[in-house]
Amino acid sequence: MLSYCLLIFSCFNVVDLVQGDASYSHTIPYGEEECLLIRVPRDQPHIISGSFDCLDTRISTDPIRVALYNSKEERVYSSDYGDAEGSFSSKGMGKHWLCLENGLTYEQREDRDSRTDPRKRVTRTIGFTLRVKKSATSKASEVLGDAGSNDVEGTTQLLLDLTEDLNENFQVLTDHMSYMKAREVMHRELHEQTFTKVVRW
């Protein structure tokens, strides 16, 4: 399941609020999977969330798959093959793994009709964002303390959950805007190189 750990993204429960937020882009050769180890404090549930986007616009995204595994190495999120973008969110504690695959198991699928087109066997760049933060439940219990028992029909908890969902959706939107900016930089560099060659010619 896990080929190897690429990075270690650690959160240590030193202060009251544990939060991690990081954005990366990584180039993965065809036929490989690379996994990141995410360390989440074990004492309280945290939300592990993020999004991904294939930054290569001119090649097929068919062999790409992104998966999130929990501390029991059970898959809690998996994109479908060919998804160029997506987002994930899971509540958990302990170690988690985020795995980025570029064709490792693509050719072993049962629904495959023929051999993989050689044009799909290329290196791809995947941009992804990863966030680790305390869940609304643990924040509410810290803030409200004994007053949490006065929560009328779970109204406070419901409002906290809705606020958390809305905030997560805004963060995913921000992620996709940053991916678009990264694509623009790549295209600008390509145009500059092309114009330079035309001028020299």
Q: Which spans in the chain are helix H? A: 136-144, 155-200
61-76 in b/e form (b: 16+ CB < 10 A) is bebbbbbbbbeeeeeb
| pLDDT tens by residue, 35-60 | 999 888 888 888 888 888 888 877 88
| pLDDT tens by residue, 119-177 | 778 888 888 888 888 876 666 666 666 555 566 667 777 777 777 778 777 777 777 77
* Separation of alpha carbons 100 and 46, rounded Å: 22
* Separation of alpha carbons 172 and 37, rounded Å: 21
* Separation of alpha carbons 71 and 67, rounded Å: 13
Burial of 154 (0-12, 13-18, 19+ CB in 10 A): exposed
Map residue 157 onto helix, strand or coil.
helix
| pLDDT tens by residue, 73-112 | 899 999 998 888 888 988 888 899 999 998 877 666 655 5
Between 107 and 118, residue with greater pLDDT: 118
Cβ atoms of 37 and 84 within 8 Å: the answer is no
Beta bridge partners of 38: 9, 96
Give the residue among 185, 175, 198, 194 at the shortest CA–CA distance from 57: 185
122-139 in b/e form (b: 16+ CB < 10 A) is eebbbbbbbbbbbbbbbb
Between 69 and 20, residue with greater pLDDT: 69
Query: pLDDT grade, residue 113 (50/70/90)?
Result: low
